[in-house]
Amino acid sequence: MRLNLLIDTSVWLDLTKDPRHLPLLDALSAMAEAGEVILIMPQIVIEEFARNRDRVMAASRASLSSHFKRVREAIVQFAPEEGREATLKQLNEVDHRVATGGEAVNEAVDLIEKLFGETTPVPVSDNIKVRAADRAIAKIAPFHRQMNGIGDAIIIETYIDALAVRKDEDVFAFVTHNIHDFSQKGADTRFPHPDLASLFDGVRSRYETNLSALLSEFASDLIEETRFEREYSQDPRQLSELLEAESKLTTQVWYNRKWNIIARVEDGEEKLVTKEVWDQATPEERRNLVVHTIWEGMLASMKRAEEELGPEELGPWTDFEWGMINGKLSAIRWVLGDEWDMLDT
């Protein structure tokens, strides 16, 4: 027995909004790959998803971002001074995790579009267009609300065509979140509109508004397995961890560069001078001069770095180790918002 699914555009779009839906998409992909699920994919669903995808993704990201901004502003303005910094620090951690988790939207879209690409789309035939127009003329669902439901009509007529060639052992299901156009009005929205009720016997042809519940009937173990894998996947680093690592790597790079200055002074390539000599020098001459007070401050800062990190964390480095340090710093800064190769210290 195979499950033949026509999933409405509304469901695909809603699946992109919440990372908790990723296990469901994993299970659906696995079932489709194993041939346990056959997706009926109207061309219009692919087009509607593509047309609305970016808007839904942007709204999903903006919603939480805007919420955290308002909460942060409220804490700064109204929270007691005692504990405020700790609260803001925790909020920044959560905000960072939300931003990282927000990439789940991209992953969901990738999974959906992969499913689309592996499924043969059903074009809109002339016959389907005529029957959809007939629904409009007769004002029957999905045209019962004085709305332009031509897209919805094409989708349901595509389901009707697929149902007409059903094999005895197969189960068909139409899954939608668009309860206003497809479900009973003012009643239990889990049941289809009376104009569509004859299409669904509840056994071999089913009307569904909950994809997760439907798939659980056919592959509950698989869904639990994929959920387990998602829940126990590697968590992103905390913001505080990234900032701590960025600070240490910055100090290591800075310290090594200061040793290069020391080497150039010892080799005579650069010269220690007073502030007066520096002021009188030309810009070209200053390239090879170091002011005494700056030199002394640099040595003091290097001493503090040695006390803070310990000499074993400050080199000297092999070319490979030095490349790793610079690469790590560049990568962390990129995650935090800088451009690639940002190695200023």
The pLDDT of residue 190: 93
Q: Buried b / exposed e across 84-96, counting CB within 10 Å, b at 16+? A: eeeebeeebeebb
pTM higher than the cut 0.75: no
Adjacent-strand bridge partners of 4: 38, 172
Select from 182, 197, 231 the last residue of a domain.
231
Total number of domains in the chain: 2
Look up the domain containing 272 and give its range.
239-335
Element (H, E) at 253: helix 239-266
Residues 95 and 191 occupy one common structural domain: yes
Among 140, 136, 147, 156, which residue's Cα sits nearest to residue 44?
156
- Tokens of residue 295, six digits: 């030199």
Q: What confidence score (pLDDT) does residue 103 get?
A: 63
Q: List the structure tokens of 168.
A: 């005895």
Half-sphere exposure of 71 (CA within 13 A, CB side): 14
Same domain membership, residue 246 and residue 118: no
Q: Is residue 342 part of a domain?
A: no
How far apart CA 49 and CA 14 sit, in angstroms, is: 10
Q: Which residue type is seen at 98?
A: V
**CA neighbor of 4 nearest in space, from 43, 31, 23, 30:** 31
167 and 46 within one domain: yes
Regarding whether 184 and 95 lie in a shared domain, the answer is: yes
* Side-by-side strand order, sheet with 37-39: 37-39, 3-7, 171-175, 205-208
Distances (CA, A) of 47 to 13, 38, 42, 245: 12, 20, 9, 45
In sequence order, which residues have a C-beta less than 8 Å from that of residue 91 and are 6 or more positions away?
A: 68, 71, 72, 75
Same domain, 135 and 69: yes
Q: Is residue 62 part of a domain?
A: yes
pLDDT value for 344:
82
Residue 171 and residue 70 share a domain: yes
Question: Does residue 114 sit in the same domain as residue 243?
Answer: no
Residue 62 CA: distances (Å) to CA of 17, 66, 105, 149, 241: 11, 6, 12, 29, 25
Q: Which of 115, 108, 110 lies closest to 41, judged by CA?
A: 115
Closest alpha carbon to 344 in 333, 336, 335, 15: 333
Per the domain annotation, does 126 fall within a domain? Answer: yes
Co-location of 108 and 168 in the same domain: yes
- Whether 68 is covered by a domain: the verdict is yes
pLDDT at position 144: 75
In a domain, 23, yes or no: yes
Same domain, 208 and 294: no
Residue-by-residue pLDDT tens, the chain, 345 positions = 789 999 999 999 999 987 778 889 999 999 999 999 999 999 999 999 999 998 887 776 666 666 666 777 777 777 787 777 877 777 776 666 666 555 667 889 999 999 999 999 999 999 999 999 999 999 998 987 767 789 999 999 999 999 999 988 899 999 999 999 999 987 889 999 999 999 999 999 999 999 999 999 988 888 888 877 766 555 667 777 888 888 999 999 999 999 999 999 999 999 999 999 999 999 898 999 999 999 999 999 999 999 999 888 888 888 888 889 989 898 888 877 788 877 887
- Per-residue pLDDT at 341: 77
Domain shared by 227 and 287, yes or no: no
254 and 225 within one domain? no
| Rounded Cα distance, 244 and 308, in Å | 13
Q: Is residue 340 part of a domain?
A: no
Q: Beta strands of the chain (E only): which ranges?
A: 3-7, 37-39, 41-42, 121-122, 171-175, 205-208, 271-273, 289-291
292 and 262 in a single domain? The answer is yes
The answer to the question of residue 341 being in a domain is no
